[in-house]
Amino acid sequence: MPTFHEAQTSVMELAQFAASRGWLPATSGNLSVRVSDQPLTFAITRSGADKSRLQPEDVLLLDADMRAQGDTPYKPSAETTVHVALYQKFECGSILHVHTVYNNLVSELYAEQGFVEIRGHELVKALGHWEEGAAVRIPIVPNWADLHRLGSAVAEAAQADVPAVLVRAHGVYAWGDTPDDARRHLEAIEFLCEYMYKLHLARGRGTV
């Protein structure tokens, strides 16, 4: 498990990476790294920070009740509820939440069935599925305004073998055992969302 200082640095590096891809527009998104298990503590971005230029003080150490450890004038991410619910369900070490046009489009296209299925695509290997013709179903949950309800909905929908949940017309939560794993999963999910949307368009035009 990392120290708070190490986790803080990881959160800042992850934010730099996601921001460089344009995945954290208009202060959206939140990122966290687990620091301890029992009791649960984790480093997470503060609410409203511009995640493309985080300073160390923009990353807070919180407990499972979302109380900041140590002095800070800042409030934790409004979506800390989702991070806590996922850390309590899984032993993951890092959780990343981003808003992108492609993950939003896919969440709308497949919202009614409650998941998007990706079958037989090479990049599902990056999500841990190496078997022939593997399929993954990424759950899609409503964008509940009540953030405790949103946290419960994401955690209930989350499956151990698919490290992501889409929130309709909002964004995606992706996680992994380590910050690098979470980042790889997020990159794969974003690639696959772009692919699924463009495949949908191409099929509509009859070009594939």
Ligand X SMILES: CSCCC(=O)C(=O)COP(=O)(O)O
Please report, as ranges, the residues that interact with ligand X according to CB under 6 A: 26-30, 45, 47-48, 77-79, 97
Phi, psi of 15 (to 5 degrees): -65, -40
Residue among 41 and 77 whose Cβ is closer to ligand X: 77
Q: Smaller CB distance to ligand X: residue 118 or 150? A: 150
Q: Taking CB within 5 to 8 Å according to partner kind, which of Zn ion, ligand X, none is near residue 10?
A: none
- Residue 26 binds what, of Zn ion, ligand X, none (CB under 5 to 8 Å, by partner type)? ligand X
The contacts of residue 116 (CB under 8 Å, 6+ apart) are: 106, 107, 109, 110, 137, 138, 140, 166, 196
The one of ligand X, Zn ion, none whose footprint includes residue 178, by CB under 5 to 8 A per kind, is: none
Q: How far is the CB of 202 from ligand X (least distance, A)?
A: 30
Residue 151, token pair as written in the block: 């946290």
Q: How many C-beta neighbours within 10 Å does residue 165 have?
A: 27
Cβ of residue 119: shortest distance to ligand X, in angstroms? 30
Q: Among Zn ion, ligand X, none, what does residue 78 contact (CB within 5–8 Å per kind)?
A: ligand X
Closest approach of ligand X to the CB of residue 186, in Å: 14
Gap between the Cα atoms of 208 and 203, Å rounded:
5
Q: Which of residues 22 and 48 has its CB atom nearest to ligand X in the complex?
A: 48
What distance, in Å, lies between the first and last C-alpha atoms of the chain? Answer: 47
| Residue 148 known to bind ligand | no
Task: Kindly give the interhelix angle for 80-89 and 147-157, rounded to the nearest 10 degrees.
Answer: 30
Indicate the residue among 151 and 171 with the shorter CB distance to Zn ion: 171
Give the shortest CB-145-to-Zn ion separation in angstroms: 12
Q: Which residues bind Zn ion (CB under 5 A)?
A: 171
What's the length of the chain?
A: 208
CB of 46 to ligand X, least distance (A): 7
Nearer to ligand X, 95 or 136 (CB): 95
On whether 185 is known to bind a ligand per the annotation, the reply is no
Residues in Cβ contact with 172 at an 8 Å cutoff, skipping those fewer than 6 apart:
97, 98, 100, 103, 107, 164, 165, 166, 186, 189, 190, 193
Phi, psi (degrees; rounded to nearest 5) at 141: -115, 155
Annotated binding site: 97, 99
Annotated binding site for Zn(2+): 97, 99
